[in-house]
Amino acid sequence: MNTFFQDNKAFIYFAIMALILVFVGMNQSWALALGIINMSLISAIMALGVNIQWGYAGLMNVGIMGFAALGGVSVVLIAQQPVSEAVDAGGFKMFIALIMGAATITAGIFLNRKGINKWLIAAIVVIGYLFTRYYFSEAADIIEKVDPAITGYLGGFGLPIAFSWVIGGAIAAGAAWWVGKITLGLRTDYLAIATLGISEIILYVIKNEDWFVRGLKNVYGLPRPVPYEVDMQQSEWFQNLIAWINRGELQLLSQTEQIEKLTDYVREAAVVFVKLCYSGLFIAILVAFIVLSNLALNSPWGRKVRAIRDNEVAASAMGKDIKRQHLQIFVLGSAIVGVAGALLVTYDGIFIPTSYLPLRFTFLIWVMVILGGSGNNMGSVLGAFIIWFIWIQSGPMGLWFVEMLSNNMSEGSSSLEFIEDRVHYLRLVFMGTILLLIMRFSPSGLLPEKNKQL
Amino acid sequence: MSDSIDIINAFALLTNFVILPALSYGSQLALGALAVTLVYSILRFSNFAQGDSMAFGTMLVIIISGYMISKGWTITGFPTAILAIPLALVGMSIYLLAMDRLVYKHYRKIKAKQNIVGITASIGVMFVTGGIVRFILGASAQRFGDGERFIFSVREFKAFTGLQQGIAFKTSQFLTITLAILLVAFLFYFLQKTKTGKAMRAYSDNTELALLSGIDPDKVVRITWLLVALFTTIAGTLYGLDKGFAPQQYHLLLLPIFASVIVGGIGSPIGAIAGAFLVAFSEILLTYAYKKFLIYLLPLSMHPSSLVQLIGTEYKYAISFVILVIVLLIRPTGIFKGKVIDGD
C-alpha cells in the first residue's frame, strides 16, 4: 500500500485536487471552479518559470512581480489599437527623446570600453540625460493631454494578441538578462536584492508614466483571443446546443417558461464556455512548457545544470562556465514568467498596475514552488493548484470565521468591525506560515525531485 | 524676491530642504543597515524581514505610546514615542528571539546553506510580520508624533538671523541624529571593548576557531538579536516620527537599506553607515527641485522656468537601485571592502 502511494503520489494528489474542484463546481458554481482552474494554470506557468530558476539552478528571484508586469505591459503595447491623435501630437517627440536616451547610454558604455577619463564620461552621460529628460517630459505632457479621460497614451500596435505573449516573454527575458549580467557571478543574495529592486522600479514606471500604459487610470477593453459571452449568447448553434443538453428539463415546461429558462441557461453556459476556451489555451501552453522543460532537464544540458547546482566547484573544475549557465537559466525562467504575466492580462481583459502586489506575484509563486517540491515541474503545477485554491477559498473561510465570532458578540461591536476590516491581512500570515512549515518539516515538498542515479 | 546673487540664502535653503532631511534620513537608514549587517555577520544571511521588522517595532511603539498618552503619562514638548521605546524594545526582543527559536535555529543546527535558506526563511518571516502589522494597525498611513514639532521653526530662525530664507529644525530630526550618534558609539564601544563584543567579532571572523576557544554560540546569537531589536525599533520609530508610519513604506525601506549595506561593503559596520549616508544624500539631492536654489544664485536673466528636478520624487527607490548597480559594476566589494564570495 505504501509503495503504491509512493509510486503514484503525483497522480493521487492531482486526483484529489480535481475532486475538490469538481466539488466546488457542483456546490458553488462551475464558473467559479473554472475561474480557479484558469488562474491556477496561469500561476502554474509562472511557478514553472520560477522552478527553472530556483529548482534547477538555485537562483533566487524575489522580483517575479516585475517580470509578470512586463508581460502585462506587452499585451497593452501589442494588442491595443494605436491612439493616432496622441501619436501625431507627441509620438515623434517621444521617439526622439527615447533615441537620445538610448544614444546617451550607448555612448557611455562605448566610451567606457575605450577607457576614456571617467569624469568625462560622467559629464557626457549627465548632459545627455538632461537633454533627454527635457524632451521627454515635454513629449509626455503633450501625449497625456490628448483626451486624458479615455486615452492620454500612445496606445499599442494593434497586432493580434497572441504576439504579445511572445513579446512579453522577450521583454521579461531582456530585463532578466540585464539584471543577471550585473549580479550573477557575485554573491547569491545580490541577485535576490537586484530582482527585488528592478521589480519595484518596473512597477513605479508603470504606475507613474501615464503616456506609456495610462498609469493608475488602467487600460480597459483589451482584445481577446476567445469569443465574447454576448456573441455566444446570440449565436444559434450555441443556443441549440444548450437546448439539446437541457432538453429533458425544458420539455416539462410551458412555451414561455421554456424560453425564459433557456435564456438563463445560455447566459450561464456562455460564461462557462468562454472560461473553458481560456482553460484549453492555458493548458496547451502549460503542457508545451512542461514538455520542453522536461526534455531539457533530461538532456545533457539538464545534467550540466544540475551538476552546477549540486556542486559548483566540481562543475567549474570540469570546465563548465557557471556564470553563463546561470544567466541562461535566469533569462529562460524570467521569459516564462513574462509569458504567464501576458496571459494573465489577456485573461483579465484589463491592465491594472495597482494589482501587482509582491504578495500575489512573488510570494504566492514562491510558496507554490516550494510546496510542490522545488526542482520538480509537476510539483510546481500541483503547488500552483493547491495554493491558489487555498488563497481563493481562504477569503470566504475568513468571513465564515468572523461570522462565527459575531454570533458570540453583540451586533455592531467595534472589535468585530475591526476584525472584519482586517481579516484578509491574515492571509499573509497564513501563507508565510505555510512556507516556513514546509521549509522546516518537508523541505523537498509534496513531490520531491527525482534523483536519477546514473 | 531680489534679483541679486544671494549665497547665504541659497545655502540656508539647501540646509533646510536637503542637508537636514538627508542627515536624518541617512541616520535612520544607517541604523537599519547596521541591523542587517549584524545579522549578516553573525547569522550569515541577508535578512529580508528587516523592513517589516522595523514596522513591527514601530507598531509596538505606536500602541504603547497611544496607551501612555491616554493615561497622561507624557512629558510636555517631548514625543511620547521615544518614552515608549524601552517597553517596545522588550516586546521586539521577545518577538525576534521567538522567530529565531522557531525559524532560524533549526537551519543553524542542520548546517544548511545558511545564506540561501536564510533568505528564503526571512522572506517567510517578512510576510508573517507584515501580515501581523497590517492586521493590527491596518495598511493606511498614520502619524504618531506628539510634543513640540520644532527645535526652532522657520519663523524663529528668520527673526533670529534676519535672513529671507528660513531653516526649521524638527524635533524628529534632532532626535534622529542624536540617537543615531549615541547608538553607533555604543555599538562600536560594545564590539571593540567588551568581552561579549569581542566574542561576537571572533565568531563572525572565524566561527570554527571561536567555537574552539569556548565562545558560546547561542549567547552570541542571542546578543545579536537583542542588538538587532534595539537598532530596528529605534530606526523604525525615528523614521515614523519623521515621515509617518505606513507598512508598505517600511517594507520598501528594504531597498535603500540593502543598497547601503552593499555600497558600504557587506558585513562592515562602518561601510553600512557610510553607505546609508551616500544613499540618503543621493536620493534627496537627485529628487530635490533646484528652481528656488538657482533663483538665489543666478542673475535674473538666467532664472529657470521649470522645477529643475533631476528625477521625479516617485522614483526615489530607483535611485538606491541605480547606486547598487553602479557599485556592483565598478566595485562589487563596496567602499569598505566587504565579503564578496559566498561565505557558506
What ipTM is given for this predicted complex?
A: 0.86
C-beta atoms of B131 and A427 within 8 A: yes
Cα gap A409→A186, rounded to integer Å: 56
Cα A312 → chain centroid: 31
Q: Does A198 touch chain B (CB under 8 A)?
A: yes
Across A190-204, A298-312, A438-452, B85-99, the highest mean pLDDT is recorded for B85-99
Average pLDDT over residues B120-144: 88
C-beta atoms of A435 and B341 within 8 A: no
pLDDT at B2 over 70: no
Angle at alpha carbon of residue A257, lines to A255 and A262, rounded to 5°: 95
Contacts of A204 in chain B (CB under 8 A): 314-315, 317-318
Searching chain B, which residue's CA lies closest to the CA of residue A207?
B314
A 387-426 → B contacts, CB under 8 A: 421-423, 425-426
A 251-270 → B contacts, CB under 8 A: none
Average pLDDT over residues A245-249: 79
pLDDT > 90 in chain B, percent: 42
Q: Considering the domain boundaries, does residue A336 fall inside one? A: no
C-beta atoms of A363 and B123 within 8 A: yes
Average pLDDT over residues B192-196: 92
Q: How many Cβ atoms are within 10 Å of B149's Cβ, its own excluded?
A: 13
Q: Does A61 touch chain B (CB under 8 A)?
A: no
Contacts of B124 in chain A (CB under 8 A): 432-433, 435-436, 439
Searching chain A, which residue's CA lies closest to the CA of residue B47?
A189
pLDDT at A453 over 60: no
Q: Tens digit of pLDDT for each residue in A328-369?
A: 999 999 999 999 999 999 998 889 888 888 777 888 999 999
CB A102 within 8 A of CB A231: no
Searching chain A, which residue's CA lies closest to the CA of residue B105?
A440
Cell of A238: 450555441
The residues spanned by each domain of chain B are: 7-330
C-beta atoms of B317 and A431 within 8 A: no
Q: Tens digit of pLDDT for each residue in A128-162?
A: 888 888 888 888 888 887 777 777 787 778 888 88
Q: Closest partner residue to B116 among A58, A422, A429, by Cβ?
A: A58
pLDDT at B187 over 60: yes
Domain B7-330 has CATH 1.10.3470: yes
CB B83 within 8 A of CB B68: yes
Q: How many Cβ atoms are within 10 Å of A454's Cβ, its own excluded?
A: 4
CA of A439 vs chain B CAs: smallest distance (Å): 8
Instruction: Count each helix (H run) and each strand (E run) in chain B, helices first.
Output: 16, 2
* Strand B150-152 to B169-170 pairing: antiparallel
pLDDT for B343: 41
pLDDT for B250: 92
Q: Does A436 touch chain B (CB under 8 A)?
A: yes
pLDDT for B148: 67
The DSSP line for B222-251 is HHHHHHHHHHHHHHHHHHHHHH-B-HHHHH
pLDDT for A451: 64
At residue B121, φ and ψ (nearest 5 deg) are -65, -40
Q: Considering the domain boundaries, does residue A10 fall inside one? A: no
At residue B215, φ and ψ (nearest 5 deg) are -80, 135
Q: Does A439 touch chain B (CB under 8 A)?
A: yes
Q: What pLDDT band is residue B180 in, cutting at 50, 70 and 90?
A: very high
Average pLDDT over residues A236-261: 80
Q: Tens digit of pLDDT for each residue in B310-344?
A: 787 878 888 888 888 888 878 878 888 766 444 43
Mean pLDDT of chain A: 85
pLDDT for A409: 65
Searching chain B, which residue's CA lies closest to the CA of residue A437?
B103
CA of A431 vs chain B CAs: smallest distance (Å): 8
C-beta atoms of B342 and A187 within 8 A: yes
Q: How many Cβ atoms are within 10 Å of A23's Cβ, its own excluded?
A: 11
Average pLDDT over residues A216-222: 81
Q: Tens digit of pLDDT for each residue in B273-305?
A: 999 999 999 999 988 888 888 888 888 777 777
C-beta atoms of B332 and A440 within 8 A: no
C-beta atoms of A201 and B45 within 8 A: no
pLDDT for A67: 94
Comparing B218 with B325, the larger pLDDT belongs to B218
Chain B interface test: which of A326, A429, A431 (most B C-beta within 10 Å): A429
pLDDT at A454 over 50: no
At residue A26, φ and ψ (nearest 5 deg) are -75, -40
Q: Considering the domain boundaries, does residue A389 fall inside one? A: no
Contacts of A238-242 with C-beta under 8 Å, sequence gap 24+, read A238/A266, A238/A269, A238/A270, A238/A273, A239/A266, A242/A266, A242/A269
Q: What pLDDT band is residue A1 in, cutting at 50, 70 and 90?
A: low
Cα gap A67→A179, rounded to integer Å: 11
Chain A interface test: which of B110, B114, B115, B123 (most A C-beta within 10 Å): B123
Range of weakest confidence among A283-292, B36-45, B142-151? B142-151
Q: Nearest CA to B158 among B290, B9, B293, B6?
A: B9
Q: Tens digit of pLDDT for each residue in B45-82?
A: 889 999 999 999 999 999 999 899 888 888 877 888 88
Query: Which residue segment(s) compose the domain that A107 sits in?
Result: 83-154
Total tally of structural domains belonging to chain A = 1
Which residues, in sequence order, are bridge partners of residue B170? B150
Cα gap B207→B205, rounded to integer Å: 6
Contacts of B255 in chain A (CB under 8 A): 193, 196-197, 200
Q: Does A313 touch chain B (CB under 8 A)?
A: no
Q: Closest partner residue to A201 among B46, B134, B317, by Cβ?
A: B317
Q: Tens digit of pLDDT for each residue in A355-408?
A: 888 777 888 999 999 999 888 889 999 999 999 998 888 877 777 777 777 776
Longest alpha-carbon distance in chain B: 73
Which amino acid does the sequence have at A404?
A: M
C-beta atoms of A439 and B117 within 8 A: yes
Chain A interface test: which of B127, B315, B316, B340 (most A C-beta within 10 Å): B127
B206: phi > 0 → left, psi -120 to 50 → alpha, else beta; which? beta
Q: Considering the domain boundaries, does residue A128 fall inside one? A: yes
CB neighbours of B250 closer than 8 A, spacing ≥ 6? B51, B52, B54, B55, B58, B236, B239
At residue B50, φ and ψ (nearest 5 deg) are -55, -50
Q: Considering the domain boundaries, does residue A136 fall inside one? A: yes
